[in-house]
Amino acid sequence: MPRTEPIKAARGVRDILPGELPLWHQVEDAAESTARRYGYEEIVTPVIEPAELIERIGADTDAVAKELYRFERPGMQTLALRPEATAGVVRAYFENGLNQAPKLARLYLIGPMFRHDRPQKGRYRQFFQFNVEVIGGASPAFDAEVIEIARGWLNGVRIESLRLELNSIGDHRCRPAYLEKLKDYYRPLKSQLHGECQLRLESNPLRLLDCKVPQDQPFKAGAPRVTDHLCDECAAHWDSVQRLLTAAGIEYQHNPYLVRGLDYYTRTVFEFYPGGATGQQDALASGGRYDGLAAEEGWPETPGVGFAGGIDRVTELLREKTPLAPTPAADVLVIPNGDMPMEATEVARICRAVRPTAADYEPRNFPAKMRLAEALGVTWAVILNPAQAARRMARLRDMASGDESEVAWDDLPSKLA
């Protein structure tokens, strides 16, 4: 029984079409070349991971708590589609012995991530990230380096105007005492906060700072700032990161409300926004230091820092700035005047030795085929008719000038080269 309704894509995912892919590849190529310029190596990890790995490291994030694609089958390991890459990259680093000498790994990964989020523009259920991770590096110079890479990538695709927001959220030594201060500040205000933040006040008070609900905003200004309560080590790290960025000519804004609500995140957090973007707009890239992540996964304690950039969002931003110019897939189109698939195939094969070549096999009327050649934007048409083909001859048409000449099939490569 044929269906009455054609089958469409799943909600929240999208096709990336041939016309979009040149821009998409520019963004990916800029990512790769920037990462390589800094000595980073590519890693590919599975899109499926044990659900436990993902859930352990993200329990309190929307990406894990609400948006995880999770597959549970009786008697089988519960799996999840990765919502982000860092957990898997850290797992792979240890599991494959990259933590043996030289210990320091500079890695990058480009691939799809999955979140069962409410679909909207710039927010998809399958989206692609460029991830950069340094595992085994504690120096603040690594924090500055990954920030420089993120900026270099975005500048590399001509997104020059950027806003970098930066903060430090301390570590296991200083953050607990700060969180107590934050709770002390918010407790008397609890009844004025929205429901979710009332719960967060005790479970994850840091998240009160990045709450976007309007009713909670007025209280932030008076909240204690984590950077005023760092231990000596974290303060020195925070100071170094800022000095390194300044020395690199990278402007940033200290955003005291920029946080990550998970314990394994330490010290530096940052986000890049398009210049001029305000408030609720989504970041192009975000990252930070995660010195507690390896241990959270059950591996030896190992520092790490990195970021994830959104390839979909960066591509969309570029497309808004520069409308797509269609690029023809082939330089040459072989156009038989009549039904001559055998000849068209052979001539196309000859041309293909020197130029991308397609052939129009359909026995349609000839003017329609020529109009298609115009529309496709090919540089050359190779026109066949039965009489010429019998002599292994064709007409070579320069589509821009309209000039035509008779050419032997075997001379086509030299004419087209």
| Residues of the shown chain interacting with ligand AMP in the complex, contacts defined by CB under 6 A | 84, 115, 117, 122-124, 127, 129, 282-286, 308-310, 312-313
For the CB of residue 281, give the shortest distance to ligand AMP in the complex, in Å: 10
CA distance 34 to 260: 26
- Minimal distance, residue 100 CB to ligand AMP, in Å: 29
Comparing CA positions, the residue from 97, 104, 83, 91 lying closest to residue 40 is 104
The strand ranges marked E within 136-224 are: 162-168
- Cβ 91 to ligand AMP, closest distance in Å? 17
CB-wise, 283 or 394, nearer to ligand AMP? 283
Q: Which helix (H) or strand (E) holds 15?
A: none
Give the helix/strand (H/E) hosting 188. none
Minimum CB–partner distance for residue 155 and ligand AMP (Å): 16
Q: Report the alpha-carbon distance of residue 256 to residue 303 in Å, rounded.
A: 23
Q: How far apart are CA 23 and CA 45, in angstroms?
A: 25
Of residues 73 and 121, the one with the C-beta less far from ligand AMP: 121
Nearer to ligand AMP, 263 or 360 (CB): 263
Question: Which position's Cβ is nearest ligand AMP?
Answer: 310
Specify the residue, 137 or 309, whose C-beta has the smaller distance to ligand AMP.
Answer: 309
End-to-end Cα, the chain, rounded Å: 52
- Least CB distance to ligand AMP at residue 133 (A): 12
H or E element, residue 392: none
**Dist. CA 166–CA 170, nearest whole Å:** 13
Q: Which is nearer to ligand AMP, 28 or 343 (CB)?
A: 28
What beta strand segments (E) does 38-181 contain?
41-42, 48-50, 70-71, 79-81, 105-114, 126-135, 162-168
**Is 122 or 156 the residue whose CB approaches ligand AMP more closely?**
122
Q: How far is the CB of 248 from ligand AMP (least distance, A)?
A: 21
- Which residue, 29 or 339, has its beta carbon nearer to ligand AMP? 29
> Rounded to an integer, what distance in angstroms lies between the CA atom of residue 111 and that of residue 309?
11
**Separation between Cα atoms, residue 333 and residue 376, nearest integer Å:** 9
Q: Nearest approach, Cβ of 228 to ligand AMP (angstroms)?
A: 25
